[in-house]
Amino acid sequence: QKEVEQDPGPLSVPEGAIVSLNCTYSNSAFQYFMWYRQYSRKGPELLMYTYSSGNKEDGRFTAQVDKSSKYISLFIRDSQPSDSATYLCAMSGGTGFQKLVFGTGTRLLVSP
């Protein structure tokens, strides 16, 4: 079983829809959670960073962490064609220097 599981998609939605992207994880030591957006043939770009449980909002994006369920989500409101990309979750935790563990990414397609 992978430490981080993420549905590869593709997830296809019409413009204006609310999008929900999710990851599950197995390591209860994880406490730092990130979402990256990656356009085709480009490097990942940090979208959201959350420490421990709770919600964080930034414009149309909301990141949610439920540590009791080992489940994190990224919500995109009023989705736009420019949101079409692959979204990677990443997480780390524990004492000392910790590497990031990435999900495989979910490909999102927003049609006009």
Where does this chain bind other proteins (CB under 8 A)?
Answer: 8, 32, 34, 36, 41-46, 49, 51, 88, 90, 92, 97-100, 102-105
What is the smallest separation between the CB atom of 14 and other proteins, expressed in angstroms? 26
End-to-end alpha-carbon separation of the chain, Å? 37
Q: Which residue has the tokens 């990443």?
A: 90
What is the smallest separation between the CB atom of 8 and other proteins, expressed in angstroms? 7
Instruction: Determine how many CB atoms are found less than 10 A away from the CB of residue 49.
Output: 14
Residues 6 or more apart in contact with residue 72 via CB below 8 angstroms? 22, 23, 24, 25, 33, 50, 63, 64, 65, 66, 89, 91
What is the smallest separation between the CB atom of 51 and other proteins, expressed in angstroms? 7
Can you read off the two tokens belonging to residue 39?
Answer: 């356009």
What is the smallest separation between the CB atom of 73 and other proteins, expressed in angstroms? 18
Pick 18 or 100: Cβ nearer other proteins = 100
Pick 18 or 46: Cβ nearer other proteins = 46
Pick 44 or 64: Cβ nearer other proteins = 44
Q: Yes or no: say if 102 and 5 are a contact pair by the CB < 8 Å rule.
A: no
Pick 62 or 98: Cβ nearer other proteins = 98
